[in-house]
C-alpha cells in the first residue's frame, strides 16, 4: 500500500487560472500578465515524510477584465503551463499496469519539461454592495484548451470542466490603513468515472497600506474536496491496477492549506505590479509546496 501511495501523488499544484489569480477589486478595464513558479518534493504520510523527487512548474497567465457598467464586469484567463518531474517515483503508464490497459500511454515523468495550454476560464461578476463593505458574487466556466495527459507527476491539470460559483467580500474600515478580503467559492466539476469532484475553494487576505500606493499583505488559501476519493479507496495493490488507478490524479482529494505573503504597488494610473510567496501549511493526499512565488503586471485602460 505504501509504495502505491507514493506513486499516487501527482503534484497538481497549479490551480485553474481563474482560481489562482488575484480576484480583481475594482471595475476598470484591465489586462494582467502573471508568472508563477512552484517547486514541490515531498508528502507527509502517516507521520513520515516521503521523498517524491522534485517537480518544477512554470505558469504564464494572460487574464483580463471588461466592465460593462458600474456593477457588472466580465473576465477571462488563459494559462500556459510547463512542468518537469525529476528523481524518485516517476509514473509510466506503460509499466505501471498489468491487468488494466490505459487509454493514454504518454509519459511525462521523463525528466524533461512538458508544456501546453491548460484550462481557459470566462466569467462574470456583479458588485451587489459597494462601500467600506463590498459584496461581489460571481460565476465562471473553465474547460481544457488542449489534450494534455492526465497520468504522471508532471501533468498540468485534470482535464475536466469546472463551474466556480462564489462571492468576494471586501472590508476597509473607515480611517484605517487596513483592508481585508475573503473569497468563498463552490466549484462544480465534471465527474470522472462516476466520482463527484466538486470542491470548496477559500481565500482570505489582509493588506496594510504603508502608502496609498504600496501595500504588503498576508493570505491563506484552502481547498476542500469532500466527495473525492481517499486512501481507503485504494487499500490493495490491485485497486491501483484499474481504471480508477489510471485516473487517481483526478479522483483523489488533493486538499491543502497554503499560506503566504505578498506586495502590491501602484506604479501609475495605468500600471501596477504585485508579487507573492507561499508554502504549504497542511495537505491531504497532495505533495507539499516547498516554495512558490508569483509576479504580475496589470495594465488598466
Question: What is the CA angle 264-268-273, rounded to 5?
Answer: 30
Domain region containing 272: 2-300
pLDDT tens string 29-70: 999 999 999 999 877 666 667 777 899 999 999 999 999 999
Q: Are 243 and 259 in contact (CB under 8 A)?
A: no
pLDDT tens string 75-133: 999 999 999 999 888 999 999 999 999 999 999 999 999 999 999 999 999 999 999 99
Domain of residue 204, CATH code: 2.40.128.130
Positions of E strands within the chain = 30-45, 48-67, 72-86, 114-117, 119-126, 133-144, 162-171, 178-189, 199-208, 214-224, 255-266, 271-284, 288-300
SS3 of residue 248 by DSSP: helix
Of 193, 252, 192, nearest to 225 by C-alpha is 252
What is the model's pTM? 0.89
Q: In the chain, which ranges are continuous DSSP H helix?
A: 2-7, 17-20, 243-246, 248-251
pLDDT tens string 136-194: 999 999 999 999 999 999 999 999 999 999 999 999 999 999 999 999 999 999 999 99
Burial of 196 from C-beta contacts in 10 A (0-12 / 13-18 / 19+): middle
pLDDT score recorded for residue 26: 53
Cα dihedral 63, 26, 298, 270 sign? positive
Phi, psi of 233 (to 5 degrees): -85, -5
When divided into structural domains, the chain yields a total of 1
Of 283, 296, 272, 20, nearest to 157 by C-alpha is 20
Q: Longest Cα pair distance anywhere in the chain, in angstroms?
A: 67
Rounded Cα–Cα distance for residues 121 and 41 (Å)? 29
Residue 300 has pLDDT above 90, yes or no: yes
Rounded Cα–Cα distance for residues 151 and 76 (Å)? 27
SS3 of residue 267 by DSSP: coil
Confidence of residue 5 (pLDDT cuts 50, 70, 90): very low
Amino acid at each position: 500500500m505504501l509504495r502505491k501511495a507514493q506513486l499516487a501523488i501527482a503534484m497538481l499544484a497549479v490551480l485553474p487560472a481563474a482560481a489562482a489569480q488575484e480576484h480583481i477589486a475594482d471595475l476598470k478595464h484591465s489586462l494582467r500578465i502573471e508568472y508563477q513558479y512552484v517547486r514541490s518534493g515531498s508528502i507527509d504520510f502517516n507521520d513520515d515524510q516521503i521523498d517524491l523527487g522534485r517537480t518544477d512548474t512554470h505558469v504564464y497567465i494572460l487574464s483580463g477584465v471588461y466592465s460593462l457598467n458600474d456593477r457588472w464586469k466580465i473576465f477571462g484567463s488563459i494559462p500556459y503551463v510547463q512542468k518537469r518531474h525529476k528523481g524518485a517515483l516517476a509514473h509510466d503508464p506503460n509499466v505501471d499496469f498489468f491487468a488494466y490497459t490505459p487509454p493514454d500511454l504518454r509519459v511525462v515523468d521523463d525528466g524533461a519539461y512538458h508544456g501546453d495550454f491548460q484550462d481557459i476560464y470566462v466569467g462574470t461578476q456583479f458588485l451587489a454592495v459597494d462601500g467600506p463593505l463590498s459584496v461581489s458574487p460571481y460565476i465562471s466556466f473553465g474547460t481544457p484548451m488542449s489534450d494534455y495527459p492526465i497520468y504522471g507527476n508532471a501533468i498540468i491539470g485534470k482535464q475536466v470542466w469546472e463551474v466556480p460559483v462564489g462571492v468576494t467580500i471586501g472590508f476597509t474600515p473607515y480611517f484605517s490603513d487596513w483592508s481585508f478580503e475573503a473569497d468563498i467559492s463552490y466549484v462544480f466539476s465534471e465527474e470522472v468515472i462516476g466520482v463527484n469532484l466538486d470542491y470548496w475553494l477559500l481565500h482570505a487576505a489582509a493588506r496594510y497600506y504603508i502608502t496609498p500606493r504600496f501595500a504588503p499583505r498576508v493570505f491563506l488559501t484552502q481547498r476542500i474536496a469532500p466527495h473525492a476519493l481517499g486512501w481507503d479507496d485504494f487499500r490493495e495493490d490491485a485497486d491501483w491496477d484499474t481504471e480508477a488507478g489510471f485516473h487517481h490524479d483526478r479522483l483523489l482529494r488533493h486538499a491543502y492549506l497554503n499560506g503566504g505573503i505578498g506586495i502590491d504597488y501602484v506604479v501609475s494610473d495605468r500600471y501596477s505590479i504585485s508579487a507573492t510567496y507561499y508554502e504549504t501549511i497542511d495537505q491531504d493526499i497532495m505533495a507539499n509546496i516547498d516554495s512558490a512565488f508569483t509576479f504580475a503586471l496589470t495594465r488598466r485602460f
